[in-house]
Amino acid sequence: MLHKMAGELGLSNVTTQWARAEDVKETFDSVMVRALGLVDKILLWTSHMVKPGGQLIMYKQVSEQEKTLLFSLEKKYDMWLVREHQYCLFQGDIQRVIYVMGKR
């Protein structure tokens, strides 16, 4: 999906990689995850892939418990919540959120 979007937008400085988080050894300016797990697992599995000054983008279902957990883990992973965007795909759908985390 991201590869196709980058191509359609004509972005030549974008590299996409579809891989298991534990197999990735490089670091990136931006890391995007979806359908991966609770935020504690996402941060554990992916924070090492984000360069200092970079960002981790998570697509999640809205959950106040997870947001509280996210805030409690910011210091541990040297990250902070930069912004969030809540949305629904269609009427009657679950409430979703995109969290953008910055890396120190």
Q: pTM (2 decimals)?
A: 0.87
pLDDT at 21: 85
pLDDT at 20: 84
- CA–CA gap between residue 57 and residue 92 (Å, rounded): 25
- CA–CA gap between residue 83 and residue 98 (Å, rounded): 8
Going residue by residue through the chain, which has 104 residues, state the pLDDT in tens, using 9 for 90 and above: 778 888 899 998 888 888 888 899 999 999 999 878 999 999 999 999 999 999 999 999 999 999 999 999 999 999 999 999 999 999 999 999 999 999 99
Long-range pairs, 21-24, Cβ under 8 A, ≥24:
21/45, 21/46, 21/49, 24/49
- CA–CA gap between residue 37 and residue 84 (Å, rounded): 18
Q: Does domain 19-103 have CATH number 3.40.50.150?
A: yes
pLDDT at 49: 95
Please give the backbone phi and psi of residue 37, each rounded to the nearest 5 degrees, phi first: 150, -170
- CA–CA gap between residue 40 and residue 44 (Å, rounded): 6
